[in-house]
Amino acid sequence: MATRTQHGARARARARRLALQGLYQWQLSAALPDDIIGQLRLSQNLKDTDIDYFEELLRGVIADSETLAAAFSPFLDRPLAQLDPVERGIFLLSTYELSTRPDVPYRVVLNEAVELAKKFGAEESHKYVNAVLDRAASKLRAAEQGIRGSTD
């Protein structure tokens, strides 16, 4: 039998997946967050999904997308505009969590990002996602990691 924590982790993973779908839609259509949320609520099975977390992620990422992109862009090997929308969405989503959700351990953020890349990204994109986010986490969560600091 799963524990409440496992249910919570699964519900948050589903929220991240749904938020990524919303971010993909936002990147392609520039739709408003409320419209995207409404469409996804109607078209998806939201059972066992942390809806509040989904909405926080989607609204927060869209509202702060330029700052978030500036936080991970130095670690890219190509211009931001050349990223696949799935990868860009994963980077935005994960950087949001690294920046604003210290209650979520950075390793969880990285693991969830890799899983999203495996499920929705190009064949080897999970390796790229992991490498970029690992470097971003070394800046955004240096104290939590206990290594590297800001000179890396």
pLDDT number for residue 152: 38
Question: Is residue 147 in a domain?
Answer: no
pLDDT number for residue 43: 87
Quote the domain boundaries for residue 132. 4-140
**What total of structural domains would you count in the chain?**
1
Confirm whether pTM is higher than 0.85: yes
Q: Are 24 and 116 in contact (CB under 8 A)?
A: no
Structure tokens at 140: 């955004």
Residue 15 CB contacts under 8 Å (≥ 6 apart), including other chains: 49, 50, 51, 53, 54, 57
**CA-CA distance, 46 to 101, in Å (whole number)?**
23
Residue 146 CB contacts under 8 Å (≥ 6 apart), including other chains: none
**CA-CA distance, 100 to 81, in Å (whole number)?**
24
Among 137, 150, 73, residue whose Cα is nearest residue 101: 137
Among 139, 16, 141, residue whose Cα is nearest residue 89: 16
pLDDT number for residue 4: 41
pLDDT number for residue 146: 62
pLDDT number for residue 34: 94
pLDDT number for residue 1: 38
pLDDT tens sequence across 73-93: 999 999 999 999 999 999 999
pLDDT number for residue 80: 92
pLDDT tens sequence across 9-46: 899 999 999 999 999 999 999 899 999 999 999 888 88
Mean pLDDT for the chain overall: 89
pLDDT number for residue 92: 98
Structure tokens at 146: 């206990």
Question: Is residue 148 in a domain?
Answer: no
- Residue 131: give its domain's CATH number: 1.10.940.10
